[in-house]
Structure formats: C-alpha cells, structure tokens
Amino acid sequence: RRSVGMAPALDADAVVLRRPRAVWAIAHDPSRAGVAFACESSGATARMRADASTRQNWRVVETLEKCDRAARACAVSPCGRLVAVASFDGATTVHRREGRGEDGDGGGDGGGDGDDERWTRACAVEGHESEVKSCAWSRSGSLLATCGRDRTVWVWERYGDEEFECAAALHGHGGDVKRVTWHPTEDVLVSVSYDESVRVWREDADGDDWSCAQVLGGEDGAHGEGHEGTVWCASFEPRALDDGSRGTRCVTCGGDGALIVWNGRGFCDTELEFGARFACGHDRAVLSCSWGKNGVVAAGGGDNSIRLYAEIDGTWREIVTVENAHDDDVNDVQWSPHDSSLLMSASDDGTVKTWRFKP
C-alpha cells in the first residue's frame, strides 16, 4: 500500500515471455483489452493474452507463422482482425484472425479456456529491397505504411484482407528508416531515420500521389531544430487523455539521448513545430518512446533502463527511473490503449515484461 503523497512509481508486474534471443517490438490490440503481440529475432510473433475477467496474468497463447528472418515490428489493425509483421526478410506479412475471437470472445490458452481464435497467414506485402524495419496501420485501417533499410517509406492501400496495392513509394531519407507512425486522426504519416530527421508525409491535393510536407531536423530540416543522432521512434499524444484534455503533440527520441516534443498546429494539428527538447537521463541511445493516455511519456534505452516523464508546470521532468529494468537494451515500450496503468516492454535479453504505473 502506498501512502498519500508518495512519488509516482513503476512497479514490475510479470515476465510474460522469455526467449533465448532478442524481442524487438510489442503491439497492443486497439480493439480489445488484454491482447498484445511481440516480435522475436527468431522470426516468430507471439500472441499474448491476459485473463479475460481480471486482465491480469498475461501469457503466450499462440505463435504466428514464422518469418524467414527476424520479425522486427508488428502492428494490429484498428478493427483487430489483422496483424502486420515487418521482417528482415524484406516482406511484411499480414495475418488474419479466425475463430470465435472475431466477436471479441475468448481469453485462455487455446485448451478449453475460451480462446479458440487462431491467426493464419493472409498475404505478404513486398516492395522493399532489404530489411523492413517498421509497419503501421492508419486510423481507418485502409492504409498500411512500411519502412526499411533501403531508405524508403511505402504506403499500401488495402483491398480486403489479402490484397494490398502500392499507393506510394516515398524517397527522401538519407539513411535507413527506423519507424513509421500515423497521425491519430488523419492520413498523415511520420517517419524517423538514421539521417537524424523526422519527416511528415501526406497525400497530394489531387489524390494521385504522396509527398513530403515537412522535414524536421537532419541536413534538410528547417531551423536546425532536431535530434543530433539517429531518430529511433515517434509517438503521438493520444487524442483523448484521462484528464479530459485533447492531445495535439508528438514526441520523438534518438541516439543523442534526448526527447523532443513537437507541437501540432494547422489542420487537425497535422503540422509539427518544435516545442521542447530535454535530456532524458538515459546515458545511451533512447530506442523507444510511448505517450500514454495518462499523459506520461515512457522511454526505453540502450542503458537497460525505463524512464517516465511528465510535463509539470510547463517543464518536462523525469518522474520515475527504473534502472536495469531489463538485462540488456530495452527495444520497445508501449502503454496500453485500454489500461492507463499498464506498460509493456521488450528487450534484447529475450523477455517481455509488464509494469504497473502508480501516479
């Protein structure tokens, strides 16, 4: 029990997954609480579930068909029926949900506990010349974005579950593209790269193509405001925050050990401008960041730690530090979109862990 006035805390909850090789990324199902996926260096993608009644006691209930090489990232469609898995084999595999889980039921281990859904391979989306580093679904689920080592960003239009058509192959980054992230309400895409830049992409007015609308940081960036190293991740502030306010911003993290908050402006806050930059305590690269509905930004780094940040009286401050949260690099941290106290992390040490935030 915590006393009144105690400082915020991030308490270790459980180890959900333990593998001999690295786990690269985590994705929550936006349509259902208690469902998440984890991508492994072995090429496997694990489906994890919590108990249906308590949303506690997470465990692995299924392993999706393996990629030929490491599964680097995964993303669940807004409807929860499709999972895209980006792989170092150069393809993004799309899996489809089958069975009773279609209506949201299920929650066990596949052996009589109600979980009789299964995931099958629907198709492979191919276009990149080498490793695919990230994938993301648009808010409507009609578009899938991918990016990779070949320095390109691709936008794919979905027709059903098994057909994807290239809407745009976007060039401009001067290094491999680490992650793509969609704006929470509009078909506007953010990409981050080894070239130290953040780029904003949108469809042209005539609807025939896509183009770069903004370059933030890097050699081509405006005003010289940006990261001074590889940009590893971007995360938008949720539109509906727990305190009733409306999020409009985006946060990025990089190899320079900094977090940058970009303010949204213009139509639906789809244009980004520099807001604040702050050193975040990590003494190595910050590899992942996630902005939760609780208003707190979580970050995981190459120093094995997880750190939490909040804006207090207009100044960003580190409110929680978990040293040695993992035994190796923290590759990904993700707040649950359903439970503001739940944070999941993935690491080079081969584990996925759950954490509980106590404000």
pLDDT per position as a tens digit, 137-180 = 999 999 999 999 999 999 999 998 889 999 999 999 999 999 99
| Residue 208 phi, psi (nearest 5) | -90, -20
Q: How far apart are CA 67 and CA 54, in angstroms?
A: 33
Per-residue b or e along 129-139, where b marks 16 or more CB atoms closer than 10 Å to that residue's CB: eebbbbbbbbb
Mean pLDDT taken over the chain: 92
Q: How far apart are CA 166 and CA 271, in angstroms?
A: 25
Query: What per-residue confidence (pLDDT) applies to 108?
Result: 35
pLDDT (tens digit per residue) in 248-301 = 999 999 999 999 999 999 999 999 999 999 878 888 999 999 999 999 999 999
Amino acid present at 117: E
pLDDT (tens digit per residue) in 301-325 = 999 999 999 999 999 999 999 999 9
**Global pTM?**
0.93
Q: What is the 3-class SS of 175-242, one letter each residue?
A: CCEEEEEECCCCCEEEEEECCCEEEEEEECCCCCCEEEEEEEECCCCHHHCCCCCCEEEEEECCCECC
Cα-trace Rg, the chain: 19
Please say whether the beta carbons of 173 and 191 come within 8 A. yes
Query: What per-residue confidence (pLDDT) applies to 56?
Result: 85
Tell whether the model's pLDDT for residue 102 goes beyond 50. no
Amino acid present at 125: V
| Tokens found for residue 321 | 């530090």
| Tokens found for residue 335 | 């707040």
